[in-house]
Amino acid sequence: MFIKENHFYALFSVATEFNDKLETTIATVDVDLDRGIVIVKARNNPAVNSAINRSEAKTKIPNCPDMAFGPDWLHKFAISVVLGRALALKIRPHNIGAEKMKMYQMHTELVQAVLKRPMEQLENKTHLHQKILSHVQEICGLNRGLYANDEIQQNMVKHIFNIYLSRFITRSFSETKLRNGAKENGAFGFANTIAFSGKNHGSGKMKSGGRAKPLIGNELYFDVKQSLEENKQIAQWNVSWFDCYLYEDDTLTAGHFCNTSIRCEKDLFKVVFLKHKLDSIMIHRVTEKLLNYLVREDEKK
C-alpha cells in the first residue's frame, strides 16, 4: 500500500481452491481522493470464472462468510474487505442513472465524428436537407390536421434525412472508409455494439457484425438511434479504440484498435478489455477518457 499525489494504492491477491487446485487472482485498488472515485483493476482468471459459472460458484469467499462467489465478486471483495474492513473506508453508491446519461453523451459525440464525412458528402451532392424541409412544410401546410409545429417538422426532416443517409452509408462506405473517416475527424474510436431502449421502439441489442465494423454501417442503426434519442441513456455498449489515439501515434492506421465492453451496472461501472495483450498505457488512456465524461470538473463538488 502507498499514497502518491492524492491517490491511495493497494495491491492484493485472493487465493481460492477449486477442485483441489489453488488459483490466485491479483488486483489493484486506486482511491482517487481528488475525484472521489475508486478504481479496481483485475486481470481475468479463466479458471476462477469457469468455476463461478458452475456449481462451485456457491463456495464462500475465504474469510468472508457473508459473501459468496458470483459476478464481479472481486470488486465486492475490494470494496467490502480491502477498503471497508481493513482500512475502514466508507464508499458511497455510484449514480447509475447519471452514468447512463454520460455514456449516451459520449456515444453521441463519438457518432457525430464518425458520421461527419458521410453527412457532408450526401448534403454537398444533393442539398437534401433543404429539399426535405420544403416538402415537409408544403405537406403540413396542405393538411392542418397534422398539427405539426416547427419542432415536429424538424424532427420529421431529420428522420427522413436519416433514411437516405443510412442507405448512402451502406451502399457507398466500406468499414475501412468509415474507420478512416472517423480517425481523420479526431474520433478516439467507434461503437460496434449497443444496448438500447425507448418509449416507443422497444429495447434490445444491436451489433455491427464485428469489432472492426462501426455500428453506423448497420442499415438499422438509425432506427436504434431514434430510441436512444428518446431515452438519452446507454447502459451497455462496446467501443473499439483506435491504437493511434491510445498511443498518441498518428502513424498507426485506423485498422489497429482495442475493443472494450462498457456497462453501467447496479453496483459498479464496469469496463472489460476484450484483448489478450494489454499494457498500462492502453488501460490508462481508456480510463481517463471515460472519467472525462463520468467526472466533470464542475460536478466534483
Structural domain spans, the chain: 2-85, 96-299
At residue 190, the pLDDT reads 95
Contact 162, 221 (CB under 8 A): no
Do the beta carbons of residue 126 and residue 165 sit within 8 Å? no
* Segment of 29-33, 83-87, 294-298 carrying the highest mean pLDDT: 29-33
Distance CA 206, CA 111 (A): 15
- pTM equals 0.85
> CB-based contacts of 63: which residues, under 8 Å, 6+ apart?
81
Read off the pLDDT of residues 120-137 as tens digits, 9 standing for 90 and up.
999 998 999 899 999 988
* Long-range Cβ contact pairs of 82-88 (< 8 A, separation 24 or more): 82/10, 82/12, 82/29, 83/10, 83/29, 83/31, 83/38, 87/10
Q: What per-residue confidence (pLDDT) applies to 53?
A: 63
How do residues 5-27 score in pLDDT, each as one tens digit? 788 888 888 777 766 777 778 88
pLDDT of residue 257: 93
Q: Which of 40, 34, 38 is nearest to 297 (CA)?
A: 34
The DSSP output letter for 31 is: E
Quick check: 73 pLDDT over 80? no
Confidence of residue 200 (pLDDT cuts 50, 70, 90): low
- pLDDT tens, 189-199? 999 999 877 66
Percent helix, strand, coil in the chain, to 5, is 45, 25, 30
pLDDT at 61: 58
- What was the pLDDT predicted at 166? 92
Residue 223 to residues 114, 163, 193, 234, Cα–Cα distance (Å)? 17, 9, 14, 15
pLDDT at 2: 64
CA angle centred on 232, ends 165 and 96, rounded to 5°: 140
